[in-house]
Amino acid sequence: MVKLQGLYIILKLRGIPAFSTEFVHANLHPDLVSGFLTAISHFARELHADKQKDINLIKREDFVIMIEDGNKTFGALIADFDDKDARATLKRVIGLFEEEFDKNLDEFGINTLVFESFKDVVVKEFGSLLVNPFYFPKLIKTDENIPRDPPIDKILPLIDGEKNLNEIAYAATLPVEEVCQAISILESKNFVELRIKIEELDIFSTTDKATEAFSRETKYHRKIIDKFGDKGIDILYALDGKKDLKEIEKELQMPFNDLLKIIIYLLEERFITWIELYPIMRQMTPDQVIALTSDSQEQALAFTLMNICDGTYPLSSISRKLELSRGEIRRFLKRFRNNVRWIVKKI
């Protein structure tokens, strides 16, 4: 999952910032960013005056600036790597900005207050990239100022600090992307806080960013080694998207609390991401089920899982619905061998 740092929308003709917002505290002045990008753009055009192409990416070892063009503005999104979903959202946000403020852009002077309301649009559009579906939201204040719209109204009663966003989406029968957008709006206005809960049965896989960390010459590799020694890199190699943390703890013979500290760091730095499993169970006849288990309760569970496990629902939601641990369900489904398949999705 890409880590976003800041968004800047800049007037093309005047090279000055119309709108900016930071997703993390970076303390970058918008005028500095706009001046830098405008200068780079002019330099590129002078260097290749015969080519009508604008720069769309500036890359350094530890961050990138994605750039997308509009009609009257261009947008710059600072992140840790070039991501197609983030870039597509950037392009869409520029279009929405110009559509909403078209007249203001022609008359724009130095007053940026007119554009401040656009922050809600930005937070909503980038919501699924800002908020991980495995985070647990908790309400920290409730009053009449909570933004009102149908998704928020639907999820508010479900925000109890015990359900993650995937589970809230399942309970509210809403797409998880829509729930992430709603939660990102509530978080931006300090109505909720997001917590990370990591359990022994969680499964993780490395991101594209981690690919660079495997090379000894990179800054990312040195940073992990300086912080955790070889154990940090060993864990990266072990996170294959198949083994849960309990299995990795046993494989690396590492105390779980030590493993947890490294996992939290790797997660916050976007070197790893959660894996969600979606089981698919083939329909079986009663005779086939009885051949695998003679226990009547297990037979009933098998038929219940056949109705639920169609690839639509994640294991975490099935676990909550049946009040069984993910480990219990996985072990039970393993007994059905080729009658069960797993869809693996990076979150």
Q: Which pLDDT tens digits describe the chain residue by residue (347 residues)?
A: 688 889 999 988 788 888 999 887 777 788 888 888 888 877 777 776 655 567 888 888 778 999 999 999 999 999 988 889 999 999 999 999 999 998 888 766 656 788 888 998 999 899 888 888 888 999 987 766 788 788 899 999 999 998 889 889 888 989 888 999 999 989 888 899 998 888 888 999 998 888 888 888 888 899 999 999 999 999 999 998 888 999 999 999 999 999 999 999 998 888 998 898 999 999 999 999 999 999 999 999 999 999 999 998 888 888 878 988 888 999 899 999 899 999 988 77
Residues 216 and 304 reside in one and the same domain: no
> Domain boundary at 178, 195, 212, which?
195
Residues 31 and 62 reside in one and the same domain: yes
**124 domain residue, yes or no:** no
Question: In whole angstroms, what is the distance from residue 128 CA to residue 180 CA?
Answer: 5
**125 domain residue, yes or no:** no
Residues 286 and 266 reside in one and the same domain: no
Residues 240 and 322 reside in one and the same domain: no
**299 domain residue, yes or no:** yes
Residues 25 and 85 reside in one and the same domain: yes
**123 domain residue, yes or no:** no
**126 domain residue, yes or no:** no
Residues 45 and 114 reside in one and the same domain: yes
**99 domain residue, yes or no:** yes
**72 domain residue, yes or no:** yes
The CATH code of the domain that includes 38 is 3.30.450.70
Question: In whole angstroms, what is the distance from residue 68 CA to residue 77 CA?
Answer: 9
Residues 138 and 189 reside in one and the same domain: yes
Residues 245 and 287 reside in one and the same domain: no
Residues 248 and 339 reside in one and the same domain: no
> Domain boundary at 270, 286, 320, which?
270
Find the domain containing 144 and state its range.
131-195
> Domain boundary at 118, 151, 180, which?
118
- Domain count for the chain: 4
Dihedral sign computed on CA atoms, order 208, 213, 214, 217: positive
Residues 68 and 158 reside in one and the same domain: no
Residues 219 and 302 reside in one and the same domain: no
**146 domain residue, yes or no:** yes
Residues 65 and 146 reside in one and the same domain: no
